[in-house]
């Protein structure tokens, strides 16, 4: 083999290697382009998922705040109802105490009148007994 044949063979191999390198470069550029597109698509999906999660978190936060607010309102309403009921019970107790004191005073007054009447009747009966004894003594 001579130099010219060798040179031709080397040129052929060189051309073949250049074709292979060009093909590999093209494949690498295609893979890079596809990789970038895949990364961008993944980033877009992740951004959408993050946005969805933020909306879900905001919705849950609002629901929690609404529930807490409703709970506070229910608690305040229950406290107000209980306070009103307690006040009503205090008023009832005060009214019953007043009535009981009135009944006690009326009972005491009635007892005093009955005792006075009994004492008066006892005095009158003693006087009658005394008069009857006197009369009986006179008849003897």
Condensed to tens digits (0 to 9), the pLDDT of residues 15-60 reads: 999 999 999 999 999 999 999 999 999 999 999 999 999 999 999 9
Its domain, for residue 70, covers: 1-107
- Phi and psi at residue 23, in whole multiples of 5°? -65, -45
Q: pLDDT (tens digit, 9 = 90+) per residue, 65-106?
A: 999 999 999 999 999 999 999 999 999 999 999 999 999 999
- Give a yes or no: residue 140 inside a domain: no
Domain total of the chain? 1
Give the tokens for residue 115.
């005792």
In the chain the beta strands, taken as DSSP E runs, fall at: none
Tell me the average pLDDT across 107-126: 95
Examine residue 77 and state whether it is found in any structural domain, yes or no.
yes
Please indicate, yes or no, if residue 118 is contained in any of the structural domains: no
Q: What is the pLDDT confidence band of residue 7, given thresholds at 50, 70 and 90?
A: confident
Q: Whole-prediction pTM value?
A: 0.48
Domain assignment present for residue 125? The answer is no
């Amino acid at each position: 083999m001579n130099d010219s044949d060798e040179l031709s063979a080397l040129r052929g191999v060189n051309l073949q290697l250049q074709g292979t390198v060009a093909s590999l470069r093209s494949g690498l550029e295609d893979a890079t382009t596809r990789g970038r597109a895949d990364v961008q698509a993944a980033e877009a999906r992740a951004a959408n998922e993050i946005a969805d999660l933020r909306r879900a978190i905001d919705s849950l936060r609002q629901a929690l705040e609404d529930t807490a607010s409703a709970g506070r309102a229910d608690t305040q309403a229950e406290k107000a109802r209980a306070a009103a009921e307690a006040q009503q019970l205090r008023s009832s107790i005060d009214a019953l105490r007043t009535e009981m004191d009135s009944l006690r005073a009326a009972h005491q007054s009635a007892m005093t009148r009955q005792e006075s009447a009994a004492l008066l009747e006892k005095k009158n009966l003693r006087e009658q007994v005394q008069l009857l004894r006197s009369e009986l003594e006179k008849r003897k």
